[in-house]
Chain A
């Protein structure tokens, strides 16, 4: 009952005309800026953060949260329609873009919107009732457990993207290695920087995302001599009842996965999307269609993404530790406003905490009733001939890269990754696992080194701890199953030459 009382208090705070306005403005502006190819949630929040400086604390935080959700939805729109994603919508590119190629853009966008609403709602229930308790789940995880969790993420990603464990793992590891570029946090030694000062801080996530996805995709379309974007400009938003029924179970599964993954530092929206996608691919009634433009492929990941985005506020607000770059920016916004997130935040600033929680759900409603119907008008930008559109996309890629550090040198890095992304594409190496490896690589190294330090160099710590032991056991079972399946298929192929053999 206390939780309900707190939530009612939060709604009392959030439902003032002023805060409703801030929330609506945040959602709409966030969606619009996030919609622009090349500008993901991180770049959007970075760009719009100064707008909130002159706004009262509660309104500013509510508006920033609205910008975050809006940018996430806008980002998934550009991922679904043009295959130009950021970290928050990498998985949306897989089935969402396939749906666009099949002329089902409207259905994909509606599915993403409704699933995000379901994911956000479930996450808010989790946040309200379990925030204090779930915040402590993170304390159960030691360094070895974090390592095992990240390895599970890698295996999930490798499994869900290309369908080839070898290629997926290779890309994950390449991502991990790219994450090593920059200054080593333990020793202060610059690694793989080639004595270039702008590499001392490492390679920017946005540069890799825009290079490997945006630039590579533009070049592919140009190589294919496409006159227009694959999005045909026609939108039929409302699904049939049969299609709508397919959204719900997948979105609920994604919501549960996302709510759980969002709480764990090292988890968050990216790994949650992949986790939900893998679970859908395993348990969905329509699992055979996933990967080729299935509703479930969009619904589960969108719900997980949104749910994890909401629950990732738990470590920030209850422990004071941001788990990703977006949360780090939110932490910066809190500090600018004179608020130090941490265990005492709920007790000392209940109006802020519960007001923000309530505004998350209000933001969800705004996204659903404002953005989903409006998206057909905003998408008219994509009816433009490709010869006009692609220089504009290139420009937004440049602006997106530049806006992170206000540094034009980052555009050269984006260009380098554009070429590498093109090579990956031509070699059938999917860039999505690379992104996950890059994001989790530094955390993996930090926890790996810490685990070995604590165990005095003994690798047994990875199998003797209950959590990491279980997770590594699951990975081993999965790998053995994949290898066995490959050899079984090879044997079947030898017995019956007509069968198509899957990849290992």
Chain B
């Protein structure tokens, strides 16, 4: 299964199936009076076909290994979601602090002093965006 071409084909087919099966929940209608499900169903069928061709093709080309490192993407996504969550329930200042301190775990080095400086700089930028451009950021 560690074949990038094969996984790519299967991934494309999965997306096609998700949207294709989802579109069956809506009215298909007729070509002359298409329902909301017709167009996504047609596109999904075409996408499924492309995925199938990719899977078949993967048997005839050289295998390429897959290279996933989920640690960094997980840290980045946690930082983004944390920023949104803290900004919603507390304020943007807390959101910035969380994002900087959390995302820095993905960097090659970790420094609390550096994080504090970056967070202070970003808070200043957020304040400038709020005051000068009228961006409606919940700062406090």
Q: Give A contacts to B, CB under 8 Å.
A: 47-48, 50-51, 166-167, 169-170, 173-174, 176-177, 180, 184, 186-187, 189, 191-192, 215, 218-219, 222-223, 225, 227, 386-388, 390-392, 394-395, 397-399, 402-403, 406, 408-409, 411-412, 414-415, 418-419, 422-423, 426-429, 445, 448-449, 452-453, 455-459, 501, 504
Say whether chain A's binding surface is mostly helix, strand, loop, or mixed: helix
Known contacts A390-B107, A395-B125, A449-B39, A170 near B32 by CB under 8 Å: no
In the complex, which of the residues A170, A192, A218, A394 contacts B51, with contact meaning CB atoms closer than 8 Å?
A170
- List chain B residues, Cβ under 8 A from A501: 61
Q: Which residue on B lies nearest to A44, using beta carbons? A: B133
Cβ–Cβ contact A445 & B39, under 8 A: yes
Tell which of B26, B68, B83 has the most Cβ of chain A within 10 Å. B83
Q: Give B contacts to A, CB under 8 Å.
A: 4, 7-8, 11-12, 15, 19, 22-23, 26-27, 30-40, 43-44, 46-47, 50-51, 53-54, 57, 61, 64, 66-69, 72-73, 76-77, 79-81, 83-84, 87-88, 95-96, 99-100, 103-104, 106-109, 111, 114-115, 118, 121-122, 125-126, 129, 133-137
Cβ–Cβ contact A170 & B88, under 8 A: no
A423–B30 CA distance with the chains assembled, in angstroms: 36
Report A391 CB to chain B, min CB distance, Å. Answer: 5
A-B contact pairs, 26 of them (CB 8 A): A47-B129, A47-B133, A50-B134, A167-B54, A174-B12, A174-B15, A187-B35, A189-B36, A191-B23, A191-B40, A222-B72, A222-B76, A222-B107, A391-B118, A394-B76, A395-B96, A395-B99, A403-B135, A408-B87, A412-B84, A418-B76, A418-B77, A426-B4, A427-B4, A452-B31, A457-B30
Cβ–Cβ contact B104 & A387, under 8 A: yes
A222–B76 CA distance with the chains assembled, in angstroms: 10
Cβ–Cβ contact B114 & A225, under 8 A: no
A129–B31 CA distance with the chains assembled, in angstroms: 42
Cβ–Cβ contact B121 & A392, under 8 A: yes
- List chain A residues, Cβ under 8 A from B50: 166, 169-170, 173
Cβ–Cβ contact A391 & B26, under 8 A: no
- List chain B residues, Cβ under 8 A from A174: 12, 15, 47
Cβ–Cβ contact A173 & B39, under 8 A: no
Q: Which residue on A lies nearest to B32, using beta carbons? A: A457
Report B7 CB to chain A, min CB distance, Å. Answer: 6
Report A413 CB to chain B, min CB distance, Å. Answer: 10
- List chain B residues, Cβ under 8 A from A429: 8
Cβ–Cβ contact B84 & A411, under 8 A: yes
- List chain B residues, Cβ under 8 A from A388: 114, 118
- List chain B residues, Cβ under 8 A from A402: 135, 137
Say whether chain B's binding surface is mostly helix, strand, loop, or mixed: helix
- List chain B residues, Cβ under 8 A from A409: 84
Report A480 CB to chain B, min CB distance, Å. Answer: 16
Cβ–Cβ contact B11 & A423, under 8 A: yes
Report B82 CB to chain A, min CB distance, Å. Answer: 10
- List chain B residues, Cβ under 8 A from A177: 15, 19, 40, 43-44, 47
A176–B129 CA distance with the chains assembled, in angstroms: 34
Known contacts A177-B40, A180-B39, A391-B100, A411 near B80 by CB under 8 Å: yes
A187–B38 CA distance with the chains assembled, in angstroms: 12
Cβ–Cβ contact B83 & A189, under 8 A: no
Cβ–Cβ contact A408 & B88, under 8 A: yes
Report B27 CB to chain A, min CB distance, Å. Answer: 8
Q: Which residue on A lies nearest to B64, using beta carbons? A: A428
- List chain B residues, Cβ under 8 A from A390: 103, 106-107
A184–B79 CA distance with the chains assembled, in angstroms: 33
- List chain B residues, Cβ under 8 A from A453: 32-34
A387–B113 CA distance with the chains assembled, in angstroms: 13
Q: Which residue on B lies nearest to A414, using beta carbons? A: B80
Cβ–Cβ contact B73 & A422, under 8 A: yes
Cβ–Cβ contact B7 & A427, under 8 A: yes
- List chain A residues, Cβ under 8 A from B8: 167, 427-429
Tell which of A219, A222, A391, A457 has the most Cβ of chain B within 10 Å. A391
Q: Which residue on A lies nearest to B108, using beta carbons? A: A225
Q: Which residue on A lies nearest to B69, using beta carbons? A: A223
Report B60 CB to chain A, min CB distance, Å. Answer: 8
- List chain A residues, Cβ under 8 A from B100: 391
Known contacts A50-B134, A177-B40, A392-B118, A166 near B19 by CB under 8 Å: no
A445–B23 CA distance with the chains assembled, in angstroms: 14
Report A408 CB to chain B, min CB distance, Å. Answer: 5
Cβ–Cβ contact A452 & B121, under 8 A: no
A419–B100 CA distance with the chains assembled, in angstroms: 19
Q: Which are the 5 A-B pairs with shortest beta-carbon distances?
A: A457-B32, A457-B31, A387-B107, A411-B84, A184-B36
Q: Which residue on B lies nearest to A504, using beta carbons? A: B57
- List chain B residues, Cβ under 8 A from A187: 27, 35-36
